[in-house]
Amino acid sequence: MGLKMWYNVFLWAMFSSIFIHSVAAIIAFLTLRKHAVGRFYSIIILLMGVVTPLTTGAVTSAVVSFVYENSGLVMARWHVALWGVGQTFCGACFGFTRILAVL
């Protein structure tokens, strides 16, 4: 059950991140399409939309499913979506607030 929980949370985090980064990449490409180098920034944005959930998203999804599994809690389907999209939301908040640059 723990692996299924991890996989579902991971998929929600992955697809929500890809969706948000795809929208950002489209906006970046449309804004910077006439710039010589700027038009390629959208590729980097898309790459980060895939790499980030593959690394940090996999680890945090495993931690969440580990806690649910060992505490004996049942994870409802909306909990899965909330944890997955919540990971993307927290990552976006860190990106917009630039709190990591302060540290």
Domain boundaries, the chain: 2-102
pLDDT in tens, 72-100: 998 899 999 999 999 999 998 888 887 77
Closest by Cα among 77, 100, 84, 75 to 18: 84
| Exposure of 61 in the CB half-sphere (CA atoms within 13 A) | 26
Residue partners of 11: CB distance under 8 A and separation at least 6: 84
Q: Give the pLDDT of residue 59.
A: 96
The mean pLDDT of 25-38, rounded to a whole number, is 92
Question: What is the pTM assigned to this prediction?
Answer: 0.87
The mean pLDDT of 28-46, rounded to a whole number, is 91
Q: Give the pLDDT of residue 101.
A: 75
Closest by Cα among 52, 60, 65 to 15: 52
Q: Give the pLDDT of residue 30.
A: 94
End-to-end CA distance of the chain: 38
pLDDT in tens, 11-23: 999 999 999 999 9
Distances (CA, A) of 39 to 23, 43, 52, 86, 95: 15, 8, 21, 30, 21
Give, as one character, the DSSP assignment of residue 55: I
Q: Give the pLDDT of residue 1.
A: 64
